[in-house]
Structure 1
Amino acid sequence: MVLGLFQVPAEALANVKQALGTPVAHSVYTKMRMADRKSATPLYLYNGGQDFWVPALGTRNLYDEQCGYGAPAVYRQVPGEHFAAELTGVGDAFDWVDARLRGEPAPSEC
């Protein structure tokens, strides 16, 4: 598998084959997953539609779960894979954070 813009083989970024399928990766995912609790802060979630590191479905599921708990949340899917999406989505994410820091209430699109 090759990483988008930089054309770097995914294997070059890990010292084990299929790193995302290892017990360590599963443990991290399990501990970081928020399916059993409501976020204590409003959420702005975005990711690339072609991201294989953080698949869009997982981010969308987190959004749906948190909406179900009543957390204020916004979800955006932007074009690109992981690195390109970082560039295409970060401007709106920064604007959202800036609005919270100015004291504007967090919107919810749930």
Structure 2
Amino acid sequence: MKGLVRFLGIAALVGLGIIIVRALRQSREDTTFELAPATTGSSPNARRSISPELLSILADPGDKGPVELITDGEGKEWLVNRRNGFRYPVEDGIPIMLLEEGEKHKDESLIQK
């Protein structure tokens, strides 16, 4: 009987260890695409930017090419496609990548030839 109790105790500890390892791995995977930390102080209303990992996989919905993150003179962030001049707004670290938004905010001066 003691052997069975000891075996069940060891099995429970091993199971708990496996659960902890899986939770840690999942936590690391979940934070890959988290927003970058706020850069303007630590106030709760501080703006957040797009993480570099997310920026590296974002693509223009029209031509599927890469976009770059810029900040205008007012401090507003935009994802810019330099091939067609489309600008997509970034609101609270969330890119609004709809073709309608890009066309609405098109800026001919951003086009690189």
TM-score normalised to the size of structure 2?
Answer: 0.23
Larger Rg: 2
Write 1 or 2 for the structure with the bigger share of helix: 1
